[in-house]
Amino acid sequence: MKFSLSDLWSRLPLLTIFLVALNVLALYFMREVRFLRYVQILTVAIFLLYYHINTFKVRILIVIILGMFLLREISVFYYGNSLGQIAYIILGCLAYGLICFKRLDMIQVLFRDKIAIICTFLFVILNLFMLNELISMVKDSYDGSFQASLIFLLGIIITLLGAVAVLYNQVVNSDRSLTFLFFIFCMIISDVSSLLGYYFNMGFFYYIDFVGATLGLSFFIHTVLDVRGEREDKELLKSML
């Protein structure tokens, strides 16, 4: 069954509030981290189902991206060994890499705007510095240096994606570009909080992790369902090239 755009925007916030509340309550009442991951798997699965039901045309790339996020949550159950760590990081690299691939049209705009080049460069340098500091704090907890290298690669991909999101919003300046920016930063905050919560055994960061991931996925679903906004953004970008 398909709904109008107004129905989509009214239903998605309600679904997001429900899932955020579910994640917070699960964290509050449950103490076993492994069991809590079932809640995150359910969250991703619900968003995937929501997209499938409400989209006018199922796009394989979007399904693959959401599938990567779902598999990544499943891989957390095996995070205690090296294969689980590698699977978790690689799935994250693939998911964020595919999202970055969807926004390659921004690269052409980047080289036409000197201010955008400078802002993007500073953003990337700052984030790489923070990434290096974060990895130095947790790298001893990995089974090998290969995992630390993969984490650094994941950080680079997320940093580039964040830079593209900032550039996208700066150039297009639409509701959709702002929503995409919110999505990226929610996922960055979630991933960083997940690392801090796991390696420093600080439960507070799991709240930020779960809520950030839920909000991020909601913003992502909003952007991929906003076909009209996507068409308008593409037309604007074409006029700038």
Q: SS3 for the chain, per residue?
A: CCCCHHHHHHHHHHHHHHHHHHHHHHHHHCCCHHHHHHHHHHHHHHHHHHHHHHCCCCCHHHHHHHHHHHHHHHHHHHCCCHHHHHHHHHHHHHHHHHHHHHCCHHHHHHCCCHHHHHHHHHHHHHHHHHHHHHHHHHHHHCCCHHHHHHHHHHHHHHHHHHHHHHHHHHHHCCHHHHHHHHHHHHHHHHHHHHHHHHHHCCCHHHHHHHHHHHHHHHHHHHHHHCHHHHHHHHHHHHHHC
Q: How far is CA 19 from CA 23, 76, 195, 211, in A?
A: 6, 20, 22, 9
- 115-163 pLDDT tens trace: 666 766 776 777 676 666 666 655 655 555 677 778 778 888 888 888 8
User: What pLDDT, on the 0 to 100 scale, is given for residue 6?
Assistant: 44
User: What pLDDT, on the 0 to 100 scale, is given for residue 145?
Assistant: 63
List average pLDDT for each run of 10 residues in the chain, which is 241 residues long.
46 92 89 77 95 91 95 86 84 91 70 66 70 63 67 82 83 88 92 80 87 96 90 78 60
User: What pLDDT, on the 0 to 100 scale, is given for residue 48?
Assistant: 95
Q: Are 218 and 47 in contact (CB under 8 A)?
A: yes
Looking from the CA of 131 toward its CB, the CA atoms found within 13 Å total 21
Q: Are 217 and 67 in contact (CB under 8 A)?
A: no
User: What pLDDT, on the 0 to 100 scale, is given for residue 137?
Assistant: 59
User: What pLDDT, on the 0 to 100 scale, is given for residue 3?
Assistant: 41
